Structure 1
Amino acid sequence: MNDIGYFSLLLAFMAAAYGGVTSVVGARARNPQMIASGAHGVLATFGLLTLSSIVLIYHLYTGNFQVEYVASYTSSTLPEFYRVTAMWAGQKGSLLLWVWTLALFALVVHLTNRDRNQTLIPYVHAVMMSVVLFFIALLIFMADPFELLPFVPAEGRGLNPVLQMPLMIIHPPILYQGYVGTVVPFAFAIAALITGELGDTWIRTIRRWTLYAWFFLGFGLMLGGRWAYVELGWGGYWAWDPVENAALMPWLTITAFLHSVMIQEKKGMLKIWNFILIILTFGLVYFGTFLTRSGVVSSVHSFTTSGIGPMFLGFVIVSMVLSFGLLISRRNALKARSELDSFVSRESSFLLNNLALVGVCFAILWGTIFPVLSEAVSGEKITVSAPYFNQINVPLGIFLLFLTGAGPLFAWRKTSVQSLKRHFTIPIACFLATAAILLAFGIRHVYAVLSFSMCAFVVGAIGLEFYRGARARRSTNEESWPAAFYRLVMSYKRRYGGYVVHIAIVLLFVGFTGKAFDREENFAVREGESFQIKNYTLDFDSLTETNMGEYVSYAGMLRLSVDGEPVVMMAPEKRLYPIQDQVTSEVSIWSTVNEDLYVVLAELNETLDVATFKVYINPLVNWVWIGTALLMLGTIILFLPDRFGRKSGTRERPA
């Protein structure tokens, strides 16, 4: 069985090479039979990688400890479901999942383009198969998931305890959807540059693929934040960790592309810039993978140090040199059809949006790689921590929030003074009223006041857009307000789905801003004693010790009262995992819309009669998760087919 998995990888390598080379040769020779044969190589690659993945999953499920990967990430006491999901717990299995997903996307691209984009598709296949070849080569020569041990261990080392939770079952595959999804827009961009098909065809083709990658990168980031919040026990969800940053950077550049591409569609501008953004997004994905898998940065999310890190760095350098070289060679054919007419226009707001997003990305990139560069140059690693990132990115983030609301209010080409007054009066009034109320209540945190007030500005701006659109429908179609609102969104999904996403961003910023008012305290208590923070009283009833087989649990039973009224029993835990020789914390959280009471069993003394609890008050944190849910809804609207929910004869106008 093990040999089947390994030889499937070897055959997949040959099939991918055949598919890529034959597709290019067929396209150059204008030979449809060769192009079709190359596509068959793509199909064969997917089938062989599927077989290889099934073999590894079988080994994990059955607990074949002679396979080194199985022995490293599973044990006989590990629940069966976690044995299967251990496929993406380590370096080798996650690489196999990555390349299988990439082969699946190549298959979907082939099936959805059988009757269109015939000039581009052979080169798209070639680019995607080149990336597949790189990953399969890593699996064969440097990270063989089917490597056998010279003996059969009596027991495996088990899965890292912090990965044994439902969020970590879905978080890596979802994030990989975003990472791998960026290859498709990149492949179409390179194909367009190679063939000289530099119009809007490739942009229209990749629109949903780009949205797909953007959504799953963002959703994966938020799931990772939720995992850190409930599992790691430090009271937060974002720490500017190098691996978090590695996933955020391509999300920022792909967000910039989704905005700038509208200028190309509408005005024929920023053609070179859009190619640059797609190429940078691809490069940042694999540069981030280099950081994650090389061991050059310290992170709770990173894999162990291995030899594949330099391979990823080399892959990034080669792909960037070739891609930008190709772009430079086509620069004369990518001249804009028009120029910027006025600074006070929608084009200008989108351009400022792009500059701010790329500025944030560069600041994060510099802060992430600076410790590595400082160690390489001086031999001393200089740590760049949260204050650096916050100092630069908080003001840029508030500026981006302003553009989120202001951008749709500007007209294309030029906005008149009358239009500015008509569209900006209500949003500015919302901003000023919110700022005045916050100051009246004694809030003096400058960035918090600016952020909350800007959130009100954006809500006012977007709310005005929804109101005017629904009012226009009511006047022409005699619809009720709910019907007018629904049909407005369904008739112009790209525009109003985007507005829903913008409202989600506002809710995220509300949650982010709550971080300015966090509170943290430690309490060392004995059984029967109580402690208080804010309007919460916690009575320490008892400490329980329970042997759960795979781990030993120590739970502090706390009776929570709010304003003197008993509410719930909280039970933060310490868990000792003997096989891994590891201790983890299981937090207990009491959530409301306004704030979380977040309790950690931080420490136990040797006689187990004194427990130290770390308690956090996290205001508004749940708006981060509410905003994430609304972000999903907005993206679903953007993905809906154009005809869905629209009356016949209605055409969607561009945003």
Structure 2
Amino acid sequence: MATFGNYALIAALVVNLYCAVAFVTGFLLRRPRLVESAQGGMRAIFLLVTAASAALVYALMTHDFRIEYVAAYSSRDMPAPYLFAAWWGGQNGSMLFWAWILGLYALIVSFYRRRHPELIPYVLMVLNFNLTLFLGLMASANNPFRLLPFVPNDGNGLNPLLQNPTMVIHPPMLYLGYVGFVVPFAFCMAALLSGRLGDEWIKATRRWTILSWFFLGVGMLLGGRWAYVELGWGGYWAWDPVENASFMPWLTGTAFLHSVMIQEKRRMLKIWNVVLIVLTFALCIFGTFLTRSGVVSSVHAFARTHIGPYFLFFIAISVLFAFSLLFWRRKALRSEAQLDSILSRESAFLLNNLVLLGACFAVFWGTIFPVISEAVRGVKITVGPPFFNKVNIPIGLFL
């Protein structure tokens, strides 16, 4: 199965690169057939990633310890649910799981072509851009099908802390939320690229945004339950860096959900909504960076690896691209109405947004400050729960 899985991943990457070239060339040269072939290629990518995922799950279930990942995260005495959960229990497998969800979302989006024929090709192009990062890493340094030079009799097994019923559901919920927010971002970029700057992209992504926000929230609640049972923190939330990583996009996603209602009803806050969804997307990828790079100390994080710079570069390119498009379309995105007064409903929603962003910034600063202090002064200064509680409890009460 290792060979089959490897070939499936390589084929997915090749098709993904073809789609990227076909999308860009098709749009620039106005060749709709190229764009259509790229859209078909996105469906093929999902099938190939599904095949690779099935190969990994089969290897886990059948104890194929020739594969390094299987030997590292499973064992013969593990129950079937935990063997299946080992798919996302390690660094490389979880990247495959992320790519599978993103491919599934792209497949679902492709069925919206008749409703939004001008937007969907651009949406799929942005999703293709996101897939490139994960497929590229898996086809090279983070290959989940890498073979061992020998075959052990048994594997190391999944971390005992992760062998909890909650952990079978908790990570998938978080991934569904993280990856789900990529779709509204992609629709936003599609609107900016196509010039369709009305409410179409907002209405098309309303359910996506709500579901992503819901999944991320449920994932955090389940994670809190797991921490309470397994870690003995004496509570459900300890402001752990990886907990914060999921909380930040949830805060900005909450602000976005409130803000888009003003755009739909009053044609206001168009630029603000673009900023919010770009920020939410960037924080989702940033959360993935925190979890996978090892730059922060957390029981939730994977071991320190070399892939952190790739995620930071991806975030930088994505944000630069998004704000370049925003600057290009800034005149067309001007509000069609003004705030009636500081006591109006719109003003209240805007204040709500600013407070949520203030809370997000406080969490962000407290999370990355140890990393900054270590880089600047050579000493890691830990920011503990007292700081987060002192700042965020008043903000929560204000809301």
TM-score range, shorter chain: over 0.9
Question: Could you list the per-position Cα deviations for residues 452-499 of structure 1 after superposition, in whole angstroms to 9, with x for gaps in the alignment?
Answer: xxxxxxxxxxxxxxxxxxxxxxxxxxxxxxxxxxxxxxxxxxxxxxxx
Q: Which residue of 1 aligns with 2:165?
A: 166
Report the Cα distance in structure 2 between the residues aligned to 1:257 and 1:17, rounded to whole angstroms.
Answer: 32
Question: Could you list the per-position Cα deviations for residues 60-114 of structure 1 after superposition, in whole angstroms to 9, with x for gaps in the alignment?
Answer: 0010111000010111111222112111110000000000100000000001x12
Report the Cα distance in structure 1 between the residues aligned to 2:382 and 2:10, rounded to whole angstroms.
Answer: 42
Question: Could you list the per-position Cα deviations for residues 24-75 of structure 1 after superposition, in whole angstroms to 9, with x for gaps in the alignment?
Answer: 4334444443232111101100000000001001110010111000010111
3-state SS of 2:285 partner: helix
Deviation for aligned residue 1:397? 0.5
* Mapping of residues 350-369 of structure 1, within 5 Å: 350-369=349-368
Q: Which residue of 2 aligns with 1:129?
A: 128
- The question of 1:179 aligning with 2:159 is answered no
Stretches (4+) displaced over 4 A: none
Q: Which residue of 2 aligns with 1:377?
A: 376
Deviation for aligned residue 1:21? 2.9
Report the Cα distance in structure 2 between the residues aligned to 1:149 and 1:213, rounded to whole angstroms.
Answer: 38
Q: Which residue of 1 aligns with 2:274?
A: 275
Q: Which residue of 2 aligns with 1:468?
A: none
Report the Cα distance in structure 1 between the residues aligned to 2:337 and 2:40, rounded to whole angstroms.
Answer: 43
* Mapping of residues 99-498 of structure 1, within 5 Å: 99-111=99-111, 113-400=112-399
Report the Cα distance in structure 2 between the residues aligned to 1:114 and 1:293, rounded to whole angstroms.
Answer: 35
Deviation for aligned residue 1:329? 1.6
Report the Cα distance in structure 2 between the residues aligned to 1:306 and 1:45, rounded to whole angstroms.
Answer: 27
Answer yes or no: is the 8 Å Cα contact 2:81–2:168 preserved in 1.
no
Report the Cα distance in structure 2 between the residues aligned to 1:54 and 1:13, rounded to whole angstroms.
Answer: 17
3-state SS of 1:331 partner: coil
AA matched with 1:67: I
AA matched with 1:12: A
Report the Cα distance in structure 2 between the residues aligned to 1:332 and 1:307, rounded to whole angstroms.
Answer: 41
Report the Cα distance in structure 1 between the residues aligned to 2:271 and 2:117, rounded to whole angstroms.
Answer: 23
Deviation for aligned residue 1:321? 1.2
Answer yes or no: is the 8 Å Cα contact 2:293–2:305 preserved in 1.
yes
Answer yes or no: is the 8 Å Cα contact 1:10–1:140 preserved in 2.
yes
Q: Which residue of 1 aligns with 2:21?
A: 21
Q: Which residue of 1 aligns with 2:72?
A: 72
Question: Could you list the per-position Cα deviations for residues 217-269 of structure 1 after superposition, in whole angstroms to 9, with x for gaps in the alignment?
Answer: 11110110111112222221100000000000000001000001111111111
3-state SS of 2:332 partner: helix
Deviation for aligned residue 1:325? 1.5
Report the Cα distance in structure 1 between the residues aligned to 2:374 and 2:248, rounded to whole angstroms.
Answer: 22
Q: Which residue of 2 aligns with 1:61?
A: 61
Deviation for aligned residue 1:117? 1.5
Report the Cα distance in structure 2 between the residues aligned to 1:210 and 1:25, rounded to whole angstroms.
Answer: 30
3-state SS of 1:260 partner: helix
Report the Cα distance in structure 2 between the residues aligned to 1:15 and 1:274, rounded to whole angstroms.
Answer: 33
3-state SS of 1:77 partner: coil
Sequence identity, in percent? 58
Q: Which residue of 2 aligns with 1:529?
A: none
AA matched with 1:127: V
AA matched with 2:258: H
AA matched with 1:99: A
Report the Cα distance in structure 2 between the residues aligned to 1:327 and 1:114, rounded to whole angstroms.
Answer: 24
Answer yes or no: is the 8 Å Cα contact 2:266–2:337 preserved in 1.
yes
Answer yes or no: is the 8 Å Cα contact 1:91–1:303 preserved in 2.
yes
3-state SS of 1:335 partner: coil
Answer yes or no: is the 8 Å Cα contact 1:19–1:125 preserved in 2.
no
AA matched with 1:70: V
Report the Cα distance in structure 1 between the residues aligned to 2:382 and 2:300, rounded to whole angstroms.
Answer: 17
Question: Could you list the per-position Cα deviations for residues 411-430 of structure 1 after superposition, in whole angstroms to 9, with x for gaps in the alignment?
Answer: xxxxxxxxxxxxxxxxxxxx
* Mapping of residues 512-527 of structure 1, within 5 Å: none
- Which sections of structure 1, spanning at least 5 residues, go unmatched? 401-655
Q: Which residue of 2 aligns with 1:520?
A: none
- The question of 1:88 aligning with 2:91 is answered no
3-state SS of 2:205 partner: helix
Report the Cα distance in structure 2 between the residues aligned to 1:120 and 1:14, rounded to whole angstroms.
Answer: 25
Answer yes or no: is the 8 Å Cα contact 1:142–1:307 preserved in 2.
no
Q: Which residue of 2 aligns with 1:610?
A: none
AA matched with 1:33: R
Answer yes or no: is the 8 Å Cα contact 2:95–2:134 preserved in 1.
yes
Report the Cα distance in structure 2 between the residues aligned to 1:174 and 1:260, rounded to whole angstroms.
Answer: 24
Question: Could you list the per-position Cα deviations for residues 500-559 of structure 1 after superposition, in whole angstroms to 9, with x for gaps in the alignment?
Answer: xxxxxxxxxxxxxxxxxxxxxxxxxxxxxxxxxxxxxxxxxxxxxxxxxxxxxxxxxxxx
Answer yes or no: is the 8 Å Cα contact 1:182–1:213 preserved in 2.
yes
User: What is the aligned-residue RMSD (CA, Å)?
Assistant: 1.1
Question: Could you list the per-position Cα deviations for residues 369-389 of structure 1 after superposition, in whole angstroms to 9, with x for gaps in the alignment?
Answer: 000000000000111111111
AA matched with 1:164: Q
Q: Which residue of 2 aligns with 1:598?
A: none
Report the Cα distance in structure 2 between the residues aligned to 1:161 and 1:390, rounded to whole angstroms.
Answer: 30
AA matched with 1:288: G
Answer yes or no: is the 8 Å Cα contact 1:271–1:336 preserved in 2.
yes
Report the Cα distance in structure 1 between the residues aligned to 2:286 and 2:99, rounded to whole angstroms.
Answer: 17
3-state SS of 1:311 partner: helix
Deviation for aligned residue 1:23? 3.0
Higher relative contact order (CA 8 A, sep 6+): 2
Larger strand proportion of the pair: 1
Answer yes or no: is the 8 Å Cα contact 1:20–1:127 preserved in 2.
no
Report the Cα distance in structure 1 between the residues aligned to 2:281 and 2:332, rounded to whole angstroms.
Answer: 23
Deviation for aligned residue 1:280? 0.4
3-state SS of 1:141 partner: coil
Answer yes or no: is the 8 Å Cα contact 1:243–1:302 preserved in 2.
yes
3-state SS of 2:151 partner: coil
What is the TM-score of this pair, normalised by structure 1? Answer: 0.60
Report the Cα distance in structure 2 between the residues aligned to 1:316 and 1:53, rounded to whole angstroms.
Answer: 26
AA matched with 2:237: W
3-state SS of 1:188 partner: helix
Greater CA radius of gyration, 1 or 2?
Answer: 1
3-state SS of 2:341 partner: coil
3-state SS of 1:282 partner: helix
3-state SS of 1:362 partner: helix
Deviation for aligned residue 1:12? 0.4
Report the Cα distance in structure 1 between the residues aligned to 2:231 and 2:374, rounded to whole angstroms.
Answer: 28
Q: Which residue of 2 aligns with 1:5?
A: 5
Report the Cα distance in structure 2 between the residues aligned to 1:26 and 1:382, rounded to whole angstroms.
Answer: 51
Answer yes or no: is the 8 Å Cα contact 1:27–1:119 preserved in 2.
no
